[in-house]
């Protein structure tokens, strides 16, 4: 049975100045699926994520047209941009821990949203650290600086911080680029569990990671969708477009 649509994108175009980098793409993302997004560098993958939660607004020369809807609401018309960004959590390629304690890294967003009772904050900090597979490693040193953690631990702390917004959608942009394979596999296990609670958009330069995790995968190339289909099709010997076969098999890219 087809899941309901969580994100709807219609004729999305993005230009930086006079250079168009996304060329009128149209697709849907289903609720509680993991959508993989693959493609060579400079294909528009990160820019696409930034259009979804309107962090593209921070780039003055960016010009966006088309329609992006989340839960049926057009994101470019919403009056509550901060609420939109709480709804769509974002994890960057490199871990960016705030120079405060591990506890305060996770409690930061709930406090900004008005949560003040220590018992409530304690519960959400533990919950998010558990969801990010970090709780057992840090539960006895929550007052330590988050920036003192290892790279893999900091990336999981970044995920915990994104989860503290209680997002409906979690976007991950090359989350494993700076961490070791063991930590990568631990985070992949976390993402499989999170699928039951939220929609996940996974931008990755590792085609096999998309193959392991995603329900469907989008092949984005030079700002165009070459193919978007189930993994059974995308990673088969006969996808619909020959370029998909060549990319996922390392013939180019």
Question: Residue 195: is its pLDDT beyond 90?
Answer: no
Please name each of the domains of the chain with its CATH number. Answer: 5-248 (3.40.50.300)
Decide: 119 and 110 in contact? Cβ < 8 Å. no
| CB 105 within 8 Å of CB 157 | yes
CA pair distance 66, 20, nearest whole angstrom: 13
Per-residue pLDDT for 214 more than 60? yes
Tens digits of residue pLDDT in 14-70 = 999 999 999 999 999 999 999 999 999 999 999 999 999 999 999 999 999 999 999
Give this prediction's pTM.
0.91
pLDDT of residue 238: 93
Task: Name the one residue in this structure whose structure tokens are 């962090």.
Answer: 55
H or E, element range at 120: helix 118-131
Tell me the C-alpha distance between 98 and 147, whole Å: 7
List, for residues 79-134, the tens digit of each pLDDT value.
Answer: 899 889 989 999 988 777 789 999 999 999 999 889 999 999 999 999 999 988 89
């Amino acid at each position: 049975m087809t899941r309901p649509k969580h994100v709807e994108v219609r004729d999305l175009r993005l230009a930086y100045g006079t250079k168009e980098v996304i060329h009128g793409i149209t697709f849907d993302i289903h609720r509680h699926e993991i959508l993989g997004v693959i493609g060579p560098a400079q294909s528009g993958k990160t820019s696409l994520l930034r259009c979804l939660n309107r962090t593209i607004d921070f780039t003055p020369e960016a010009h966006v047209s088309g329609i992006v809807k989340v839960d049926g609401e057009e994101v470019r018309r919403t009056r509550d941009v901060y609420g939109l960004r709480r709804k769509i959590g974002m994890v960057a390629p490199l871990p960016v821990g705030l120079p405060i304690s591990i506890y305060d890294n996770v409690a930061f967003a709930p406090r900004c949203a008005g949560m003040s009772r220590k018992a409530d904050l304690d519960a959400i900090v533990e919950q998010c650290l558990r969801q990010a597979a970090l709780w057992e490693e840090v539960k006895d040193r929550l007052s330590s600086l988050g920036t003192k953690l290892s790279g893999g631990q900091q990336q999981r702390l970044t995920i915990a911080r994104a989860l503290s917004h209680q997002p409906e959608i979690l976007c991950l942009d090359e989350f494993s680029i700076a961490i070791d394979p063991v930590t990568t596999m631990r985070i992949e296990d976390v993402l499989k569990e999170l699928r039951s609670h939220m929609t996940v958009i996974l931008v990755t330069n590792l085609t096999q990671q998309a193959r392991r995790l995603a329900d469907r995968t989008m092949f984005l190339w030079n700002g165009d969708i070459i193919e978007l289909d189930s993994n059974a099709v995308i990673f088969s010997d006969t996808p619909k477009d020959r370029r998909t076969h060549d990319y996922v098999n390392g013939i180019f890219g």
